Chain A
Amino acid sequence: QVQVQESGPGLVKPSGTLSLTCTVSGDAITSNVWWSWIRQPPGKGLEWLGEIYHGGSANYSPSLRSRVTMSLDKSKNQFSLKLNSVTAADTAVYYCAREIQAAFDPWGQGILVSVSS
């Protein structure tokens, strides 16, 4: 059974960089799928941030492309998200997920990241 789990700081200062890691179990990060990050501001809907493939290719949401970087660590079976120049608008629950058949399954439990001084 494939599982994914987010980890990282729950609090980031304004103008700083948000950094999260997703640990994958039950599947290899090098399998033939894309790995994505999705976020959800409190009480709001879902926003896709981008995706990364084990070959190193990455696609980012046009609205966040200038601030997002994704990478992966094959040795640890992990992939990561960096979002720089954060503001309060970046406060959200951040999810990692596997993309399969043009859909997302499974999702991690999510991690709340607050942007505040």
Chain B
Amino acid sequence: EIVLTQSPATLSLSPGERATLSCRASQSVGDYLAWYQQKPGQAPRLLIYDISRRATDIAARFSGSGSGTDFTLTISSLEPEDFAVYYCQQRRNWVTFGGGTKVEIK
């Protein structure tokens, strides 16, 4: 099983700031890395797939990067609606999710 480790667990930032979220895999996941946003009481929403491709209707301030085992989700300038929990997910070997990063208002 490929283990995904997300860091930090919590990120405290103010609106307008840049958020950088990390996802590290225990072995290479190729291109099969996706990111989701989840707000309280809601289902996760796909943001990024194939490491860097934005899903339909996802704002340009969200971007994904990385390769092999190290990946990053960047939110260039936080909007009030971006404060949520973010998960990474791999599909290289079965499916696993990271433990999540909570982006909270500072």
A102 and B46 form a contact (CB under 8 A): no
A95 to B100, CA, bound (A): 17
Q: Which of B1, B43, B96 has the most CB of A within 10 A?
A: B43
Q: Would you give the 0/1 interface string for A26-58, flagging 1 where the beta carbon is closer than 8 Å to chain B?
A: 000000000010000000011110010000000
Interface size of B as a range:
20 to 34
Let me know if B44 and A46 touch, CB within 8 A.
Answer: yes
A104-B34 in contact (CB<8A): yes
Chain B interface mostly = loop
A105 and B43 contact, CB distance less than 8 A: no
Q: Report if A45-B87 is in contact (Cβ < 8 Å); known contacts: A62-B1, A104-B46.
A: yes
Q: Is the interface of A mostly helix, strand, loop or mixed?
A: strand
How close is B16's CB to chain A, nearest CB, in angstroms?
Answer: 28
- Mark A46-79 against chain B: 1 for CB-CB distance below 8 A, else 0: 1110010000000101100000000000000000
C-alpha gap A69/B85 in the complex (Å) = 30
- List A contacts of B97 (CB < 8 A): 45-48
* Cβ proximity bits B63-106 to A, threshold 8 Å, 1 near / 0 not: 00000000000000000000000010101001111111000000
Closest chain B residue, CB of each to CB of A4? B43
- Complex Cα–Cα for A107 and B87 (A): 14
Using Cβ atoms and an 8 Å threshold, which residues of chain A touch B95? 36, 48, 51, 61
| Chain A residues with a Cβ under 8 A of chain B | 36, 45-48, 51, 59, 61-62, 95, 99, 101-110
Partner-A contacts on B (CB < 8 A): 1, 31-32, 34, 36, 42-46, 49-50, 53, 55, 87, 89, 91, 94-100
Q: List 7 A-B contacts (CB under 8 A).
A: A45-B87, A48-B96, A61-B95, A104-B34, A104-B36, A105-B46, A107-B43
